Structure 1
Amino acid sequence: MVKISPSLMCMDISKFEEQINYLNQTVDYYHIDIMDGHYVSNMTLSPWFIKQLKDHTTIPIDAHLMVTNPIEYVDQLLDLGVEVISIHAEYLNGHAFRLSEKIKQHGKKMGVVLNPETPLSLVYDYLHLLDIITVMTVDPGFAGQTFISESLKKVRTLKTVREERKLVFEIQIDGSCNEKTYQMMIDAGADILILGSSGLFNLDDSIGKSVEIMKNQLSSATSEIKSF
């Protein structure tokens, strides 16, 4: 049973209301990439965008912080009612236990993001605190990159560790989630797929048609798909 999380940095902002109103009927999360031009050399969405989005949806929002000082964003995101705050492991270390307590006190979820070259050993000591682990299958910062298949080894390992330690985190994949990769991602153990240009928004000029195509592609890729 895989969940769907559109990456809104890939949407057509000129059709914001139309696309959000349609997606509200069928998705599980919205993935918001917040970039500051420093951690990655790109700048995209912001807490201001989330504030506008909240006026149009009740779908849970996952804020992916690709910024040099992610901890400074946490209070603002909690005030905005963001459901999941996802921070790259390199920046979460040294803050994980304290931050987990704060986020859980607000009834929200803590996530960690693993770049393709980030070892799992970096997060082993606080796996039990995590609600969502995002495995990047591209380098962070830009849409449309080549799929890094080696990252799926992390997904398989996380699935095994979760079962062995009886943990409850969900495994999310970010990067090149599309018709060519759905089956291998789900087989590896993905619970949530972040869909961007190739998996959703560039499938058709109509968001309704794009969603229909996406559903058909997912259904063709696996029988382990949720009922939409």
Structure 2
Amino acid sequence: MEHIRISPSLMTMNLDKFKEEITFLDQHIDSFHVDIMDGRFVPNLSLSPWFIQETRKLTSKPMSAHLMVMDPSFWVQQLIDIRCEIICLPAERINGIAFRLIDQIHAAGLKAGVVLNPETPLDTIMPYIDILDKITVMTVDPGFAGQRFLHKMLDRIRELRTLREQNSYHYEIELDGSTNKSHWKAIHDAKPDVYVIGKSGLFGLTNHIENSWEQMKQEFEETTGQKFA
């Protein structure tokens, strides 16, 4: 039996069942994934530091903020103020301020990550890869649920795992995008450390989170041949 580290994407949860779903997931998952969008970096608006504070009333599990914003400096301080455990920066928007922001997050005793969109070369983050706690690999175009899964991004996960082993880096590798029955086998074979899972793989499967969780487990086991713990 294999322990699968799941980070549900709360952007895709049923907000009319907020308490019910957070309370249930708190018993089963490793962290919560919170998308923060400013409507400019991607053409969508989503969650906020306030949402993280509200979620904290129901869980003590770590919060991982995925920033899709034009001005990450503005949001980083807000997330530090509310003690968000993991702050993941957009690689495309931190050139010239990456070390400053990562050091700022670490100085607050929190973890710093970076998010790579599909078109962004891995070389972009090489100057500071050794001080990252997490690298999130997007396997879809960011900003909306239900985007096309980009299989070639799985090679990026394998490359990051090799780099980590060869250089003793300490970052976790997270996959974000279309984690569902159609892609469980390919994703699992690429071996990310953390699976972000949203509407197509969890929240949209049934009308009740308990049933959706069981269906997700069943689909994982059927497609991968591995038992889900």
Where on the TM-score scale, by shorter chain, does this alignment land: which range? over 0.9
Contact kept, 8 Å, 2:69 with 2:90, in 1: the verdict is no
2:189 is aligned to: 187
Q: Distance in 1 between matches of 2:118 and 2:98?
A: 20
Q: For this pair of structures, how many residues does the alignment match?
A: 227
2:222 is aligned to: 220
Gaps spanning 5+ residues in structure 1: where?
A: none
Q: Distance in 2 between matches of 1:127 and 1:80?
A: 25
2:198 is aligned to: 196
> What secondary structure sits across from 1:63 in the alignment?
strand
Structure 1 residue 96, shift from structure 2 partner: 2.1
- Report the identity percentage: 47
Instruction: Give the 3 Å change call, closer, same or farther, for CA 224–72 of structure 1 in structure 2.
Output: farther
2:174 is aligned to: 172
Q: Distance in 2 between matches of 1:225 and 1:169?
A: 26
Q: Which amino acid aligns with 1:112?
A: V
Instruction: Give the 3 Å change call, closer, same or farther, for CA 225–192 of structure 1 in structure 2.
Output: farther
Structure 1 residue 51, shift from structure 2 partner: 1.4
> What secondary structure sits across from 2:141 in the alignment?
coil
Which structure 2 residues correspond to residues 1-228 of structure 1 after superposition, within 5 A?
Answer: 1-222=3-224, 227=229
**Residue by residue, what CA displacement relative to the aligned partner does 1:52-87 show, whole Å, maximum 9, x if unpaired?**
111111010011111110111111101112111011
Contact kept, 8 Å, 2:220 with 2:228, in 1: the verdict is no
When normalised by structure 2's length, the TM-score is 0.95
Q: Which amino acid aligns with 1:120?
A: L
Contact kept, 8 Å, 1:3 with 1:226, in 2: the verdict is no
Q: Which amino acid aligns with 1:64?
A: H
Q: Distance in 2 between matches of 1:96 and 1:225?
A: 39
Question: What do you get for the CA RMSD once the two structures are aligned?
Answer: 1.4
Q: Distance in 2 between matches of 1:198 and 1:155?
A: 21
**Residue by residue, what CA displacement relative to the aligned partner does 1:2-39 show, whole Å, maximum 9, x if unpaired?**
31000001011011001111010001111111111111
Contact kept, 8 Å, 1:115 with 1:140, in 2: the verdict is yes
Q: Distance in 1 between matches of 2:15 and 2:205?
A: 16
Structure 1 residue 91, shift from structure 2 partner: 1.4
Q: Distance in 1 between matches of 2:137 and 2:70?
A: 19
Structure 1 residue 103, shift from structure 2 partner: 1.4
Gaps spanning 5+ residues in structure 2: where?
A: none
Structure 1 residue 189, shift from structure 2 partner: 2.5
Q: Distance in 1 between matches of 2:14 and 2:91?
A: 30
Contact kept, 8 Å, 1:177 with 1:199, in 2: the verdict is yes
Q: Distance in 2 between matches of 1:153 and 1:219?
A: 23
Structure 1 residue 105, shift from structure 2 partner: 2.1
Q: Which amino acid aligns with 1:186?
A: H
Q: Which runs of 4+ in 1 moved over 6 A?
A: none
Q: Distance in 1 between matches of 2:191 and 2:122?
A: 16
When normalised by structure 1's length, the TM-score is 0.95
Contact kept, 8 Å, 2:181 with 2:220, in 1: the verdict is yes
